[in-house]
Each structure stands twice: as structure tokens, then as C-alpha cells.
Chains A and B, each alone.
Chain A
């Protein structure tokens, strides 16, 4: 018993052993229901539970009234020529999932619908409700900015353990195309078989020409079947499958959020993130092959090592950390973009940034949006949601520069806020009227 870890484990075990099974008192629930509205501490606990519930939103939700396919168009938008000014070159529209009454909790009890928003103004151009009996829970997008895939769950109502809830029984993909003015067309079921219950979908992505859909199944848990990538032709429904028996799961550093799949502009290469024991690997799948071995048909592009503190990479003298969740390949296939943080120890300083790694060498080739911070960096998330072909312009989730601000609804001390915006070089421009990061919905998709 030499290491600190060994001593700690032993001490914790012995201390825990002071509480014996015989000493556990009976549960006293009397009066619990007569209490008033939960206080702040209880509300924080409730909120903390909602995080895992949000992660499980794809498999469980309470069923509300059934809704038919419907779209509501809220007026045209002059984005036909694409946004200008700081938003030039970014897709004109994005999709964000929402609920009708976001102040109600748990909001996953409500059906999620898709809002089509204008990137440059944040205006809600249309709302798309899922076809009966589905409830939308995810979205992917094509590079033209007007083609989206929405994934919907089919629900089965279950009454058990004193509650009424629902289980997802299948996941079905739908295609949504927008006109140049943002008006949504028909929500079309894709010629892709529904994903069965229990399929752990860790991500899906549409090629930029909207012809192929890639779906990643997580796998790789407890000796299971291993991860799998399926690529469907939307025109014919033809399916190719790559599997990796015994391979690590296709996932990222964060569980539910972030993109684990992304396509190059030519639709020939699919980047995916894989958690392999002591590293997160970004691999490039040659999607022109007929399918087969995910390991043989892909190559390692970037690797971030787990040194027990975080996932690190080497660049300069600072300690560099992968802070974000997504790892997106640029359209030209030359770089992987991710949110990062760096620390220097003496003196203790930090820097947040968006870092681009060469897909050839795995080394850092470009850093955008450097934000030096005295002392430790704030613990919130930055992430990359979209990149242009060269990686010069990104849509990101970033900290807002300036002094820390206090959220009046939070009991925590002041901190830096985070928001969605466009990162062009070191210039960050917040997206007007963008939804608040957080909540139950997946992050917006472009």
C-alpha cells in the first residue's frame, strides 16, 4: 500500500465500513409531501438530476397529446443572398430544438419541435412539429445550410413505479429542405430504416450535398459488439456498414453534447471521435469503400492523450487541454477543429482558444480566438459547431470576453457567461437572439 491512491482507497473503505447494514435506519417519509415549494437548495438538486435526464432524453419522455405533421411559417427572410457583415459566409439558417413551455420542468415531458432561425438575426422563421407519434430529438445539417435531417422518436407509454412515462421504441429520420427565403418544405421520411430501440446513436451527419447520411452507433461498452458506422444513400436507401469488434466507443469527452461525426465537403471522408482507453482519437473513414472494417478503412488523424487530468496535446510549453466536445473536420479535409484550453504553471495563467490540427500530422496548425485569462480558466464549455471549408470562420460556443457577470437566477458567484457566435480569426461576434446554451435541447445545428 504505497501510493496515495492505495492509501485513499483503503481509508475510504474502512471509514465506510463504520456504517453497517444493520445500522441503516428506516425511511421516514411522513410529512415529506406536505412541505412547501422546494427551496433553492432543493431546486439545485432537481436541476442537477435533470442533466442525466437530458442525456437520456432520446430514450425516455412523457407523452403529451399527439401532434400531426405541421409547419408554421412566420414570414419570409431576406437571407436569400446569405448573411452579410460579420455573418458573411456562414449558413443563413440553423435548426434548434425547443419545447413550448421551457419554464416547465422536466421539459423532456414535452414534445420537442424544431425551430428554423435566421443566423444573422435570430428570428424564428418557422416551427416544425414532429409527425404523429414522434417527438424530434436531434438534428443534422448539410453544408448548403438549407437541408436538415431531423431524428424523431416513436414512443410507447408505460405506467410503472407510480409514474407515467414513455420509452422510445424506434428512431426515424426525416429530411427538411428550406426554400431560399427560409420557408420549410415538406418533412419527408428518409429511405432509411428506423433505428431499433436500444440502438445507442452517438451521432449522425449529412454530407454537404445532402446525398448521404452517416449514423454512428456507440458500441464498445463492456465487451459489446463494438462501434459501428452506417452510411445511407438518401436516393436509394442503400446502406454500407463499417464495424470494429472490440473497438472503443464512438463518443467524445462529454457524453451527450457535441458532434462526433463530420464530413468533408466532397463527401468522401467522414471524421469520427473514438474513446480508446487512454486517449480520444479522431479518425478519418474512407467512405468510398464498400464497408467492412472500421479499423482498416479509417486512419488516425489526431490523438489527444489522457494523462489522468484531462485529454492533452503537445504544442509549445503550455499544458494544452481539449476542453470542447466536438471535433469537426474542415470542408477541405485538412484540419480538425476543436475548442481547447492551455495553462502555464509559473505563473499560473490560462488561455482559451479554438485550435486546428493537421489531419496529416496531427499537429497544431492554427489557433483562433485566443483569450488569455489570469489564473485558472473558467470551467465552462467552449465548443465548435460549424466550420467553413478552410477553418477560417467558425460558429462556436464561447465565453463572452469582459468582466465576469452574475446571473441573477444563480446562487453561484459571478462567472463568465457563454454564448453562440461567429469566430473569424480572433474576432468573436455573438449571434443575435440565439437560444441560451444549456437546457434540454441539443445545441443548434448549421
Chain B
């Protein structure tokens, strides 16, 4: 029985760790570090958009790379590291947002406002859009960010989010409608 709201290819059971093959920590560290150098900036930016603050974004990305490093010897396709990291980062952001929602009662949508510095340098339009974006349900927000920031296709978003392409399209469509409504209310 499958209970996840995902298509079957994304609903795999969690497995126990397998015995590492030919462990070579130095080689693994070098490989993961190389991936970090290539993709850390983009991933931190992604997390920053989702969370609205940079330290948390950096922590989430560090944790994602640590996860990659721990699993390095169990990987069959190291070329799929980027989709995995994107998924890790999105999951990490969800955890941070859940913790925030549980730990502090904030006015408005319960998510942190942009820093004072950021508020000053932000254009009014950008501030409104980001506020509205952060009011969306997590799935819709992620679908929009992956589509309009990373320019991923519905199939690629489907891979990262673990939901079907139809659900991606549906979430994107609904998110845009909601965003439009909220922006109209704000203006």
C-alpha cells in the first residue's frame, strides 16, 4: 500500500544503509567538495529564497552536503547529485520552517520578515512579491521557485519534489493564481 501523495517512482521505502564499497574518504571528500564548489552558491540562493535568511540557508546547504558525503559510497550514480541536493535543500527548508512555526508565534504569516537591511535595499515590488510568496503553501511555493528561479521543466521539478508532473503543473497554476490575488490585495 502506498500512502505518499506521489507517483510510484517517488514512493520508495527508506532502506537501511548498505555496506560501503571500497571506501576512500579522501576521494569522497574531494568529489563532494568539487560538487560544493560548483553548486553551493546556487543552492544557498535557493534556500535563501525559501527561508528569507542567509544563516539558515547556509546551514541547510551544509547539512545537505554532509548527507551527500555520508552516503557517497552507497551511490550508484554520482551524476545525480544535483537533483538529490536540491531535494535535500528543499526538505531542509521545510524542516526549518516547521520548527519556526512551532517555536515562535509571529505576526502575519508566521515566517520571518526580511532583515532591516534587506528591507531597505528591497524594492517595494520585490518585497510585496516575496511576502506573498511566503504565504503560499509549501508545495506551491517550491513549485514556483523551481519553475521561475531555476527555470526547471515540470519533469525536472517533479523529480526534485517527488510528485507527478501533473501535480507540479497543478501546484504551479494554483500558486500563480493565489499570488496574483494576494498581490492585487496588497496593491
Contact = CB atoms under 8 A, between A and B. Distances in A.
Interface of A: 1, 4-5, 7-19, 21, 23-25, 27-29, 32-33, 35, 37-38, 40-56, 60-62, 103-109, 159-165, 253-257, 306, 308-311, 321-323, 378-381, 397, 400, 405-407, 409-410, 412, 414-419, 436-440, 443
Interface in B9-32: 9-18, 21-22, 24-25, 27-32
A44 B107 CA distance: 31
B40 interface: yes
Contacts, number: 295
Nearest to A108: B76
Interface of B: 1-18, 21-22, 24-25, 27-33, 36, 40-41, 44-46, 48-49, 54, 57-58, 62, 64-67, 69-80, 83-84, 87-88, 91, 95, 118, 122-123, 125-126, 129-130, 133, 144-145, 148-149, 155, 158-160, 162-167, 169-170, 172-174, 176, 179-180, 183
B129 A7 contact: yes
Contacts of A60: 76-77, 79
A436 B76 contact: no
A108 B76 CA distance: 8
Contacts of B17: 37-38
B59 to A, nearest CB: 10
B47 to A, nearest CB: 9
Given A19-B48, A52-B83, A164 B22 contact: yes
A350 B47 CA distance: 34
A414 to B, nearest CB: 7
A19 B21 contact: no
A24 B41 contact: yes
12 contacts: A1-B125, A27-B40, A38-B70, A45-B64, A51-B10, A162-B24, A164-B21, A254-B158, A257-B8, A311-B166, A381-B164, A438-B9
B48 A15 contact: yes
Contact of A380 (B2, B48, B74): B2
A28 B63 CA distance: 9
B159 A45 contact: no
A7 B126 CA distance: 7
Contacts of A45: 64, 67, 84, 87-88, 91
Given A12-B49, A309-B173, 8 more contacts: A7-B125, A11-B126, A27-B65, A42-B67, A162-B30, A308-B173, A381-B164, A415-B3
Contact of A55 (B15, B40, B95, B159): B159
Given A4-B176, A106-B74, A255-B158, A162 B31 contact: yes
A438 B12 contact: yes
Candidate in B7, B62, B169 with the most chain A CB atoms within 10 angstroms: B7
The 6 A-B residue pairs whose C-beta atoms are closest, nearest first, are A105-B15, A407-B3, A162-B27, A43-B14, A309-B173, A49-B84
B29 A52 contact: no
B122 A14 contact: yes
A310 B169 contact: yes
Given A10-B125, A11-B125, A11-B130, A104 B44 contact: no
Contact of B155 (A12, A162, A255, A417): A255
B141 to A, nearest CB: 11
A196 to B, nearest CB: 19
B172 to A, nearest CB: 7
A106 B13 CA distance: 11
B70 A35 contact: yes
A46 B84 CA distance: 8
A7 B80 CA distance: 32
B118 A18 contact: yes
B164 to A, nearest CB: 6
Contacts of A28: 62, 66
Candidate in B13, B29, B160 with the most chain A CB atoms within 10 angstroms: B13
B2 A51 contact: no
